């Protein structure tokens, strides 16, 4: 409820609306009350003032002595090494000893005389909290919201008031002393909160006489002790006193009177320089102010009632008028933090969010356009290299919104004839190809091409035309080639030649068409520079062999390396069926199968094995391949004599390699346990990545590197404790512990006894 009210009042527009309404309604009330109270006489005898001031100062001295004593105890506690260590330690059962030491320290800070109700030690970084109730997780603690609220403060130490229960108009439930940890830091990772109960403060307040009361207020003018008694009987009366004090915030002490409960009340106040609290002494001056009392109370009742009515009506009306604006602001900021609109008007927030959405939308469109072009260019390169499956081609065709209708295609490949007698050098090739690529993209209409790309020293464009207009498409290709050639000469001063493939209707034949365009460019020697070379004219009776299925071979090799036999067999079957369909001539098929075999054996050999020396039935493996006749025989022969042995050999190699790595790491641990040995140091010596050797070590030994190192050091420590006279701190230092306490805690955790107890037991 309080949080909701705070959020409403944090709205500038609502506050302005509410203030305007209250201003219009309260001006008459304030004016009437002021004119009535002018007639009241508020003189107080000087002796009464002096007496009350002395008593008030005595009360202030008593209270501040207790508060300062408690603060000193807290400062001594948080300055200990135990607390500093705890701030760097996550909460877990392993830290029982540390947490127990913290709890003992908390109990020592709470002597009976001080009336300390509770002390909370919270670790914000590791999310735990410790108090008299025990240990707990911060997110599950009842104090989590209060702790996080206090953590936002930029003050290293402050006093906070514990609010009373909703509906309670009396004093606060107590006060809290909050200190940020570590001390003397701009930003902290923990808090310590000490709670002093309301009852303790009440006992420290000195009240004497029926018509005299002392009240303590915090720096925000909230009552810390019971404000109501024989003199002060309502919150409105206390509010009047607070209002008078607020009128002179710089005054350290003062005196004034006001009418309360049909009596004239004398108020003496003193502001503490220690924590900014206010100490108020209320006395009844009824005998002196008897004549003006009736007028004062009558005016007070009328003013209070009118103000309350106006406040209620202003609140209800302003809230209803603000609700539509609040909904718009909530939609505008979405899940963002309320802090984003701090010190900003709602309409300013809405305007900023609209501008931000427009900017974000524009930026997103630009990014999508850039990434889409990059993905499209990557797809075109794979298509030209024959590294893409037909099924993936159809998927990408739809993704890039190409026309799915029937069409004719042709590949235009541009090469620079020479850089001699130009202003360019070999280092400019990449920039020149990029420029030519942009020129081709500008000259050829987007609906007549796919995305132009650069392939090493070639600029390649896949042109598209209507299937029923093949002759016109050929003429259009010549026209495009001439435009590109002329524009490059005019703008860059370069002579280029262009190879044009034959027309084709299946986009999956692009790799073969690209080879045709490259083949036609080889015949520039006959036609000279700046030639346009269509494959159908340069080599009319020549055909380009079907593309070798590199992508299938790559997927098969990946499956072999992953030791996936089922997938390897499936891909091998797909590879054999494809090459048989693409290479109907027996000699061509034998050449492809021989290349496939060589690629497998080369991959095997690069992995460190000698697959090329295999013999099948006392005959070299490549000779045995020539005797196979059917697809089933070829597939079975490859799988049994190459694929399966390759999988088994690689499996044995990796197992042997991992065993070697693990053994070398074990040797390092056994030989260098007394040094600052780390996983990264082992990785650098073995020339492997730390993550890789970490995985290998855990797989081979069943434990992590750090755990094994700690366990081995513990074994050595036990041996030294029994067989040597070394001191415990010396053993801890030699075993690379930061201090002996860490070593003792780890030893006790693992052995359920301290190193000293272990030495006594086993000696």
By C-alpha distance, which of 608, 609, 604, 606 is closest to 638? 604
Q: Sorting pLDDT into bands at 50, 70 and 90, what band is 617? A: very low
Q: Sorting pLDDT into bands at 50, 70 and 90, what band is 413? A: very high
CA distance 26 to 19: 10
Is pLDDT of 528 > 80? no
In terms of average pLDDT, the best of 326-330, 515-519, 592-596 is 515-519
Q: Tell me what the pLDDT averaged over the chain comes to.
A: 79
Is pLDDT of 414 > 90? yes
Residue 582: the pLDDT is 74
CA distance 253 to 140: 44
Q: What is the DSSP secondary structure assignment for residue 232, as one 8-state letter?
A: -
Residue 115: the pLDDT is 75
- If one compares 115 and 711, the residue with the highest pLDDT of the two is 711
Q: Sorting pLDDT into bands at 50, 70 and 90, what band is 486? A: very high
Using DSSP, state whether 619 is helix, strand or coil: strand
Mean pLDDT of 375-389: 82
CA distance 308 to 642: 94
Retrieve residue 354's tokens. 């609209």
CA distance 467 to 462: 15
| Cβ atoms of residues 647 and 556 within 8 Å | no
287: phi then psi, degrees, rounded to nearest 5: -65, -35
Retrieve residue 301's tokens. 């009742």
Distance from chain centroid for Cα 543: 58
CA distance 533 to 519: 10
Mean pLDDT of 65-93: 83
Per-residue pLDDT reduced to its tens digit, 251-297: 888 888 877 767 777 888 888 888 888 888 887 766 555 555 566 67
DSSP strand pairing (263-271 vs 134-137): unpaired
Q: Sorting pLDDT into bands at 50, 70 and 90, what band is 30? A: confident
Fold (CATH) for 406-538: Alpha-Beta Plaits (3.30.70)
Residue 207: the pLDDT is 61
DSSP strand pairing (532-534 vs 496-500): parallel
By C-alpha distance, which of 439, 446, 415 is closest to 490? 439
b/e per residue, 518-529, with b = 16+ CB within 10 A?
A: bbbbebbeeeee
CA distance 3 to 5: 5
Is pLDDT of 160 > 80? yes
- Burial zone of 425 (CB within 10 Å; 0-12 exposed, 13-18 middle, 19+ buried): exposed
CA distance 282 to 217: 13
- CATH 3.30.70.270 domain range(s) in the chain: 406-538
Is pLDDT of 314 > 90? no
Residue 367: the pLDDT is 67
DSSP string, 493-557: ---EEEEEPPPBS-GGGHHHHHHHHHHHHTTHHHH-SS-EEEHHHHSTT--PPPPP-HHHHHHHH
Instruction: State what percent of residues in the chain have pLDDT above 90.
Output: 5
- If one compares 96 and 11, the residue with the highest pLDDT of the two is 96
Q: Sorting pLDDT into bands at 50, 70 and 90, what band is 369? A: low
Out of 126-140, 207-221, 333-347, 463-477, pick the least confident.
333-347
Q: Sorting pLDDT into bands at 50, 70 and 90, what band is 334? A: low
Helix (H), strand (E), coil (C) string for 423-454: CCCHHHHHHHHHHHHHHHHHHCCHHHECCCEE
Q: Sorting pLDDT into bands at 50, 70 and 90, what band is 613? A: very low
Q: Which residues pair with 602 in a beta bridge?
A: none
CA distance 264 to 285: 5
CA distance 664 to 684: 13
Residue 412: the pLDDT is 92
Residue 439: the pLDDT is 92
DSSP strand pairing (212-217 vs 253-260): unpaired
Is pLDDT of 686 > 50? yes
Q: Sorting pLDDT into bands at 50, 70 and 90, what band is 609? A: low
Strand locations in 607-698 (E): 615-616, 619-620
Is pLDDT of 233 > 60? yes
Cα angle 343, 346, 351 (rounded to 5 degrees) comes to 105
Out of 283-297, 298-312, 591-605, pick the least confident.
283-297
Residue 611: the pLDDT is 45
How long, in residues, is the chain? 763
344: phi then psi, degrees, rounded to nearest 5: -125, 145
Residue 498: the pLDDT is 92
431: phi then psi, degrees, rounded to nearest 5: -65, -40
Is-above-0.75 flag for pTM? Answer: no
């Amino acid at each position: 409820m309080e949080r909701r009210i705070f959020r409403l009042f944090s709205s500038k527009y609502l506050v302005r609306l509410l203030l305007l309404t209250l201003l219009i309604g309260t001006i008459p009330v304030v004016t009437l009350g002021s004119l009535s109270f002018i007639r009241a006489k508020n003189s107080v005898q000087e002796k009464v003032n002096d007496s009350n001031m002395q008593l008030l100062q005595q009360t202030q001295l008593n209270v501040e002595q207790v508060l300062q004593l408690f603060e000193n105890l807290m400062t001594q506690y948080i300055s200990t090494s135990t607390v500093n260590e705890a701030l760097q330690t996550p909460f877990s059962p392993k830290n029982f000893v540390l947490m127990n030491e913290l709890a003992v320290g908390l109990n020592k800070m709470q002597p009976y005389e001080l009336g300390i109700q509770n002390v909370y030690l919270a670790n914000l970084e590791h999310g735990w909290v410790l108090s008299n109730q025990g240990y707990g997780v911060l997110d599950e603690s009842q104090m989590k919201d209060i702790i996080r609220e206090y953590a936002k403060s930029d003050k290293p130490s402050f006093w906070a008031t514990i609010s009373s229960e909703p509906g309670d108009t009396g004093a606060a439930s107590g006060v809290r002393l909050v200190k940020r940890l570590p001390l003397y830091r701009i930003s902290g990772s923990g808090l310590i909160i000490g709670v002093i109960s309301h009852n303790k403060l009440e006992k420290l307040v000195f009240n004497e006489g029926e018509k005299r009361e002392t009240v303590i207020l915090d720096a925000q003018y909230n009552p810390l002790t019971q404000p109501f008694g024989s003199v002060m009987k309502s919150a409105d009366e206390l509010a009047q006193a607070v209002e008078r004090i607020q009128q002179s915030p710089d005054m350290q002490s003062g005196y004034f009177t006001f009418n309360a409960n049909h009596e004239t009340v004398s108020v003496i106040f003193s502001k503490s320089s220690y924590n900014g609290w206010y100490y108020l002494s209320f006395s009844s001056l009824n005998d002196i102010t008897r004549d003006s009392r009736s007028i004062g109370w009558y005016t007070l009742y009328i003013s209070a009632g009118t103000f309350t009515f106006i406040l209620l009506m202003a609140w209800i009306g302003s809230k209803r008028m603000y609700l539509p604006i609040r909904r718009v602001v909530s939609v505008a900021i979405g899940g963002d933090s309320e802090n984003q609109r701090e010190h900003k008007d709602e309409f300013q927030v809405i305007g900023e969010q609209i501008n931000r959405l427009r900017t974000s939308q524009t930026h997103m469109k630009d990014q999508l356009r850039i990434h889409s072009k990059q993905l499209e260019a990557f797809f075109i390169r794979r298509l030209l290299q024959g590294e893409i499956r037909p099924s993936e081609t159809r998927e990408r065709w739809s993704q890039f919104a190409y026309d799915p209708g029937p069409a004719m295609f042709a590949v235009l490949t541009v090469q620079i004839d020479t850089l001699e007698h130009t202003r360019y050098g070999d280092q400019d090739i990449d920039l020149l190809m990029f420029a030519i690529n942009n020129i081709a993209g500008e000259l050829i209409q987007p609906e007549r091409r796919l995305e132009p790309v650069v392939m090493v020293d070639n600029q390649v464009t896949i042109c598209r035309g209507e299937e029923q207009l093949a002759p016109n498409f050929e003429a259009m290709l010549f026209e495009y080639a001439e435009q590109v050639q002329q524009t490059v000469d005019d703008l860059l001063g370069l002579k280029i030649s262009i190879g044009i493939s034959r027309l084709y209707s299946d986009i999956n034949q692009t790799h073969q068409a690209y080879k045709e365009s490259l083949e036609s460019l080889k015949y520039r020697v006959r036609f000279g520079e700046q030639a346009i070379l269509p494959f159908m004219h340069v080599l009319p009776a020549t055909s380009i062999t079907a593309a070798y299925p590199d992508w299938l071979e790559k997927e098969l090799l990946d499956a072999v390396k992953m030791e996936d036999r089922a997938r390897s067999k499936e891909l091998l079957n797909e590879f054999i069926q494809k090459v048989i369909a693409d290479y109907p001539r027996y000699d061509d098929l034998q050449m492809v199968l021989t290349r496939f075999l060589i690629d497998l054996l080369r991959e095997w050999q690069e992995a460190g094995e000698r697959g090329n020396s295999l013999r099948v039935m006392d005959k070299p493996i490549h000779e045995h391949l020539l005797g196979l006749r059917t697809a089933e025989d070829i597939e079975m022969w490859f799988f049994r004599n190459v694929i399966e042995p390759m999988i088994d050999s690689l499996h044995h190699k990796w197992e042997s390699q991992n065993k070697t790595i693990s053994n070398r790491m074990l040797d390092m641990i056994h030989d260098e346990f007394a040094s600052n040995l780390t996983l990264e140091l082992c990785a650098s010596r073995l020339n492997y990545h730390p993550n890789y050797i970490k995985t290998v070590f855990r797989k081979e030994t069943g434990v992590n590197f750090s755990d094994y190192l700690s366990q081995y050091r513990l074994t050595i420590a036990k041996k030294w404790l029994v067989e040597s006279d070394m001191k415990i701190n010396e053993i801890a230092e030699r075993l690379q512990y930061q201090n002996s306490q860490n070593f003792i805690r780890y030893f006790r955790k693992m052995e359920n006894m301290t190193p000293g107890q272990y030495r006594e037991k086993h000696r």
